Amino acid sequence: MHTKYVIIGSGPTGLGAAYRLKELGVTDFVVLEKENRIGGLSKSFVDEKGFTWDVGGHVQFSHYKYFDDLMLKALGEDGWLRHQRESWVWIENRFVPYPFQNNIKYLTPETMWKCLEGIIHVYKNPTTQKPKNFREWILQTFGPGLAETFMFPYNFKVWAYPTEEMNAVWVGERVAVTDLGRVTKNILFDQDDFSWGPNSTFQFPKEGGTGGIWEAVGNLIGRDKIKLNATVKTVIGPEKTIVLADGETITYDHLLSTVPLDIFTRHVEGLDPAIVETAQGLKHSSTNVVGIGLKGKPKDSLKTMCWMYFPESNSPYYRVTVFSNYSPNNVPDSEQYWSLMTETSESSAKPVDREKLIEDTIKALIEDQLIESADDVVSTFHKAFDYGYPTPSVERDGILKQVLPALEPFGIKSRGRFGAWKYEVSNQDHSLMQGVEWANRVVNDVPELTLFFPDTANAMWGK
């Protein structure tokens, strides 16, 4: 069978590509999905007790009008709930508003001074030297006090790799840099400072969790164009032929892969073995999502909170989302239940005992004063995703420069969160647009923006 455009994977990138092809009037395409449902890392799950869980704390905010328009078309105006972001850091037995560095007035005087002294040190000793890695960037940007108090321990918990193994290219808009005047004014005038960030407001589906969005996009594309339970065994590059696990073969003109790049290269016949070996140098971390369904209502301090960051070592998780605050339909009955969703990273540099993770999580939630008693827990959920975050490692960009072009002679482009491995453009909106821009390129020869110019894409804000 010959299909002109073949897409592997039905996450936001694959679905974005398919949707755009259909919009361009193309009908000769197919989406291959190895699982029995669509959505990739944007799927949602409902546990046995009726609690809904996402693959981590997805929130929706966008850099692209195209994405916004599609989201509206997918769920309709009434399908969304809109929220004001309220995020906090739990440290020293207290909540500090995010961004942490702007609100150090909440800390003990000793820790506050340690952080402030470090910021002053940065201002007194400016450097024009380009940081060699993320660790150096943190020290140059925040000083040693904030680095040791929050940035180093928190980032190790998130990324599961030491900061010196990561590059500083990805940071862009994702970390608020420090303004000495602003921080000092906040301390002297006892001012709160919550205003920074791209996602100060966000939206969330009323029903079905994040997965509900992508199910709806799948319907817009047409389910006949999405082949489920279709595992790709081999891509014979020189022959532009895909062999599925069940023996079916498909020839193509253009292939979009959203499979993790290190895995995908191992399945492409005709690729130089040295390129395959190079791709194996890409680093990633795994994500463990633990959902805790609770009876009753959250304590008053949590009633308007969205998510919280946890830099300290007593807890396995780095982030906790009050998931029932995103939509009352994330729990079986919002009058009787509420829910917390935690994320714990894992890698070879940061192993996790998955067998004990639920128990360790509940213990830490009590210590961190989010829940009062294990007796309130009515449901638990744990799912581990081996590919959770593409690590922006020091060697990443050098690897991508070799591997991505090596696929092009076979009509293959690798895009998406793990297809292109660029964390800085791997949100839902970025991922969808990588697929859309692939379609624009292969059909109309329009250059791609998001993957190759992340800073430009991230400066667009819905334009």
Tokens of 355: 């067998």
* Residues 156 and 274 reside in one and the same domain: no
Tokens of 423: 């964390």
Tokens of 48: 């046995």
pLDDT greater than 70 at residue 463: no
Give the pLDDT band of residue 432 (cuts 50, 70, 90).
very high
pLDDT, mean of residues 178-184: 75
Residue 307 located in a structural domain:
yes
Give the pLDDT band of residue 101 (cuts 50, 70, 90).
confident
Q: State residue 174's pLDDT score.
A: 46
For the chain, the residue count is 463
CB 389 within 8 A of CB 216: no
pLDDT greater than 70 at residue 123: yes
CA distance 237 to 269: 6
Q: State residue 446's pLDDT score.
A: 98
pLDDT greater than 90 at residue 235: yes
Percent of the chain with pLDDT strictly greater than 90: 82
* Residues 257 and 399 reside in one and the same domain: yes
pLDDT, mean of residues 189-205: 71
pLDDT greater than 60 at residue 39: yes
* Residues 259 and 399 reside in one and the same domain: yes
* Residues 270 and 411 reside in one and the same domain: yes
Greater model confidence, 174 or 427? 427
Domain boundary among 123, 158, 176: 176
Q: State residue 175's pLDDT score.
A: 53
Q: In whole numbers, what is the pLDDT of the chain averaged over residues? A: 93
Query: Mind listing the pLDDT tens digit for each residue in 339-359?
Result: 999 999 999 999 999 999 999
pLDDT greater than 60 at residue 198: no
Query: Mind listing the pLDDT tens digit for each residue in 61-85?
Result: 787 999 999 999 999 999 999 988 8
- Whether omega for the bond prior to residue 99 falls within 30 degrees of 0, making it cis, is yes
pLDDT greater than 50 at residue 173: no
Domain boundary among 133, 160, 176: 176
* Residues 263 and 334 reside in one and the same domain: no
Q: State residue 260's pLDDT score.
A: 98
pLDDT, mean of residues 438-444: 98
What pairs with residue 308 in β-bridges?
Answer: 88, 320
pLDDT, mean of residues 110-135: 90
Which residue is it, tokens 């067998």?
355
Give the pLDDT band of residue 460 (cuts 50, 70, 90).
low
CA distance 36 to 52: 18
* Residues 293 and 383 reside in one and the same domain: yes
* Residues 345 and 273 reside in one and the same domain: no
Residue 427 located in a structural domain:
yes
pLDDT greater than 80 at residue 438: yes
The secondary structure element, H or E, covering residue 155 is helix 152-159
Residue 195 located in a structural domain:
no
Residue 68 located in a structural domain:
no
Query: Mind listing the pLDDT tens digit for each residue in 282-302?
Result: 999 999 999 999 999 999 999
Residue 86 located in a structural domain:
no
Residue 33 located in a structural domain:
yes
Domain boundary among 150, 176, 202: 176
- Structural domain span for residue 163: 101-176
pLDDT greater than 60 at residue 176: no
Q: State residue 195's pLDDT score.
A: 57
* Residues 238 and 370 reside in one and the same domain: no
Q: What is the dihedral of CA 260, 261, 262, 263, to 10 degrees?
A: 50
Instruction: Based on DSSP, count helices (H) and strands (E) in the chain, helices before strands.
Output: 14, 19
Residue 83 located in a structural domain:
no
Tokens of 148: 């040791």
* Residues 294 and 436 reside in one and the same domain: no
Query: Mind listing the pLDDT tens digit for each residue in 262-279?
Result: 999 999 999 999 999 999
pLDDT, mean of residues 324-352: 97
Locate the DSSP E strands across 158-209.
201-205
CA distance 222 to 202: 28
CB 48 within 8 A of CB 296: no
CATH number at residue 26: 3.50.50.60
pLDDT, mean of residues 395-419: 98
pLDDT greater than 60 at residue 172: no
* Residues 312 and 276 reside in one and the same domain: no
Give the pLDDT band of residue 194 (cuts 50, 70, 90).
low
* Residues 260 and 382 reside in one and the same domain: no
* Residues 276 and 131 reside in one and the same domain: no
Query: Mind listing the pLDDT tens digit for each residue in 87-99?
Result: 899 999 999 988 8
Residue type, 453: F
Residue 202 located in a structural domain:
no
Give the pLDDT band of residue 199 (cuts 50, 70, 90).
low
Q: State residue 233's pLDDT score.
A: 98
What is the domain count for the chain? 3
